[in-house]
Amino acid sequence: MNLQQYVSEILEEVKENGVDAVKKYSKQFDNYDGDFTLKDEEWDIDEQISTEDKEIIDKIIERLQIYHSKQLKEDIFYSNDYGSKYGLIQRPINRIGIYVPGGKPLPSSLLMVAVPAKIAGVREIAITSSPKDGKINPYIIYIAKVLGIKEVYKIGGIQAIAAMSYGIGMKKVDKIYGPGNQYVNEAKRQVFGEVGIDSLAGPSEICVIADETANKEYVLNDLLSQLEHGHESKSFLVTTSKEIYDFCDQEGVERYLYGTIEECADKTNEIAPEHLEIITKEPEKVVPLIQNAGAIYLGEYTPVPSADYFLGVNHVLPTGKAARFSSVLNVSDFIKQISIAKVTREELLKERYLGIRLAEVEGMNQHKRSMEVRE
């Protein structure tokens, strides 16, 4: 049975059999057959996290809030010479689900999704995560408490995506966010349309553009950092320095040597990396040459891991060349834009010939009549 069929059958079973199916797969995959929701005492994790760690998380949240709050957009309204009014209004998604991998807990992923969601004004947030030994990672619970999120569910894997999508054991969500393994990704792909999804994240990627001024130790360690995510992760060096090219001859690092920075930029745009570091004499001057990258980090002191954890920029990025057409997760991903118009009689009667003719071209007679009938 292939992956697509395997995931489809589990989704369908959960849809048909509800909570019983979720419990079946939770026991099978997570060795857990208890309640999905947290008991009151399970929210009390103060003694499980040090004061220092709480302060660190609080500071990271503050940095994320500062960066993402600047992304909020105002509604747009304008009037034309006829006195008609047009605009674009912003409305937050009402309810979202955040999937947080539980096998190797990733509280940073929760932070990167939940903080901009709260800033956008999302009213309801449900977190799902696989329990380990029957428990949710205390850092996930702490972040939920700090951000005022009251729903955390002990559900992981395909069954978690199904539960959020179909409203099994919880209220149905409108859109699902968060990374997962190939099974979770396939489940997200299949439920798209039933709910919205953020993206289908692939293996982590890093590309470093470096010239002869770059510190070779910095470059190599940054290239190796993303390979830590797993054997499918990708690491690219694009350089004008033979010394750095030779120094970074390591397993897993794909290297390219060019004569000019312009050629390096062209290759980088072809790669369209998730993360791009530019470590050159004047990195800002390279930025205009870059068209395709999930995120750009400039200079020797902006390594990707710093952005992954504490800078405040978002680390949920397009992978697998999707940077050609996709963007970093930001506040707008949690907001719907709705067009609005109020047209005066004068404008409709004078300009409706435009729409009438197009309706004629398309053979849409009732569309035409709708515009013609008004006096």
Which residue has tokens 């940073």? Answer: 108
pLDDT tens column, 322-334: 999 999 999 999 9
Q: What is the pLDDT of residue 7?
A: 94
Is 18 a residue whose pLDDT tops 80? yes
Tell me which fold the domain 205-325 belongs to.
Answer: Rossmann fold (3.40.50)
Q: What is the pLDDT of residue 106?
A: 82
Query: Could you tell me which residue, 322 or 106, shows the higher pLDDT?
Result: 322
Residue 329 has, within 13 A of its CA and on its CB side, a CA count of 28
Name 132's bridge partners: 135
Mean pLDDT (whole number) for 268-285 = 97
pLDDT tens column, 117-157: 999 999 999 999 999 999 999 999 999 999 999 999 999 99
Q: What are phi and psi of 213, to 5 degrees?
A: -85, -10
Provide the 8-state DSSP code for 39: P
d(CA 246, CA 3): 40
Is 103 a residue whose pLDDT tops 80? no
Q: Which residue type is seen at 289?
A: L
Which residue has tokens 């709705």? Answer: 338
Cα angle vertex 273, ends 270, 277, to 5°? 110
Is 231 a residue whose pLDDT tops 90? no
With pLDDT > 90 as the criterion, what percentage of the chain qualifies?
94
pLDDT tens column, 65-98: 999 999 999 999 999 999 999 999 999 999 999 9
pLDDT tens column, 39-58: 999 999 999 999 999 999 99
Task: Say how many C-beta atoms besides its own lie within 10 A of residue 197's C-beta.
Answer: 22
pTM: 0.92
Q: Kindly write down the DSSP assignment for every residue of 70-131, as one continuous string.
A: TT----EEEE-TTS-EEEEEEEE-SEEEEEE-TTTT-HHHHHHHHHHHHHHT--EEEEEE--
Catalytic residue among 13, 151, 275, 277: 275
pLDDT tens column, 279-309: 999 999 999 999 999 999 999 999 999 999 9
Domain edges within the chain: 3-197, 205-325, 346-372
- Cβ pair 132, 106 in contact under 8 A: no
With pLDDT > 70 as the criterion, what percentage of the chain qualifies?
100
Is 104 a residue whose pLDDT tops 80? no
Q: Kindly write down the DSSP assignment for every residue of 174-193, as one continuous string.
A: SEEE----HHHHHHHHHHBT
Asked whether this chain's domains 3-197 and 205-325 adopt the same fold, the reply is yes
Is 315 in the active site? no
Closest CA to 143 of 108, 104, 93: 108
pLDDT tens column, 359-374: 999 999 999 999 999 9
Catalytic residue among 13, 186, 205, 274: 274
Q: Regarding beta strands 335-342 and 85-92, do their DSSP bridges make them parallel or antiparallel, or are they unpaired?
A: antiparallel
Is 55 in the active site? no
Q: What is the CATH number of domain 3-197?
A: 3.40.50.1980
Q: What is the pLDDT of residue 102?
A: 80
pLDDT tens column, 219-229: 999 999 999 88
d(CA 188, CA 65): 27
Question: Which two three-digit tokens encode residue 238?
Answer: 């694009």
Q: State the pLDDT confidence band at 240, using cuts at 50, 70 and 90.
A: very high
- Cβ pair 160, 152 in contact under 8 A: no
